[in-house]
Amino acid sequence: MRNVNESSREGSQEMKLLTRMAKSFVAGETIEEALQVVKKLKDKGIMSTMDILGESVEKQEDADKAVQGYLDLIAAISKSGIESHVSLKLTQMGLDIDDEYCYDNMIKIVGKAKEDDIFVRFDMEGSPHTQRTLDIFNRVRERYDNVGIVVQSMLFRTKKDIEELNKIKAKVRLCKGAYKEPADIAYKKMQDIRASFMEQAEMLFMDGIYPAIATHDEKLIQWTKDYATKNDIPLHDFEFQMLYGIRPKTLQKLAEEGYNSRVYVPFGTHWLPYYIRRLRERKENVWFLVKNLFKK
């Protein structure tokens, strides 16, 4: 039987590994630290979208702090002269507290971003929040045009969502999806998720506006390049997106080849709970992060 000291040592080692993993994918804890990362990326010809870590807020005071954090971030980006988008999650802005309260918060943020000519991307969370996120996005977009949305190819509903988003010429980021979803609403096999992703990407290329192809999957990256070439799609009409710390050399090569390339740059003090939640959510997330500690 292990003694308390042995268990403590093992727990400490596990925490050190988790900390190393998490910090490999987080651009610091402060706006200043994150802006330095954004500047270095820009010097390499790579664009950024900045995200203040945090989600699933249940208290209004915490949501108010998150809103102020984004207002401060927008002001800092504008003052720095370093071009960057921002990305955010609606549960961080009070979606689980009250939809109208969340909408009002988004109007504050997007309105300020519009004044400073900054684009705001609404991240997509788990399926319980999908429709409500789309509803608030559509309402905000009626007032401001400096916004975009994320959809997840693993969900059965996404094809229909893209059809509706294309009708209003919304700017869409397409990703596979990282949340654990039930089999009756989402594809489970990777071959099915990839097939869905390609079908939906084609819809965005055909009828959408400036699609963002967010993937680290080599097969989907190559498919996108081949599709763009075959269909004479100008390289400036879409962009590739990847997470900070994951396959940086691949994204650098894409940028050097002339593709618009953007990094999702998360930062903030909530990095540990954020990654613990992600690792617990799906076993695939654990393998994804471990694999990409060493993959370039």
Q: What is the mean pLDDT of residues 222-238?
A: 98
Q: What is the mean pLDDT of residues 156-182?
A: 96
Torsion over CA: 126, 131, 132, 138 (sign): positive
pLDDT at 114 (0 to 100) = 98
For the purposes of burial, counting CB atoms within 10 Å of the CB of 79, is it exposed (0-12), middle (13-18) or buried (19 or more)? exposed
Nearest to 284 by CA among 157, 181, 152: 181
Angle at the Cα of 288 (from 208 to 151), degrees rounded to 5?
Answer: 20
Q: In whole angstroms, how far apart are CA 39 and each of 141, 176, 274, 289?
A: 29, 28, 24, 25
The pLDDT confidence band at residue 271, using thresholds 50, 70 and 90, is confident
**Phi and psi at residue 244, in whole multiples of 5°?**
-60, 130
**Phi and psi at residue 168, in whole multiples of 5°?**
-100, 5
List active site positions.
123, 173
The model's pLDDT over 30-64, given as tens digits with 9 standing for 90+, comes to 999 999 999 999 999 999 999 999 878 999 999 99
Q: Are strands 239-243 and 47-52 parallel, antiparallel or unpaired?
A: unpaired
Tokens of 42: 């820009």
CB 260: neighbour CB atoms within 10 A?
19
Q: Are strands 120-122 and 212-214 parallel, antiparallel or unpaired?
A: unpaired
Catalogue all structural domains in the chain, each as residue range(s) with its CATH number.
Answer: 46-292 (3.20.20.220)
pTM for this structure? 0.89
Q: How far apart are CA 248 and CA 254, in angstroms?
A: 10
3-state secondary structure of 278: helix
Tokens of 88: 């955010």
The pLDDT confidence band at residue 245, using thresholds 50, 70 and 90, is confident
Nearest to 70 by CA among 177, 58, 57: 57
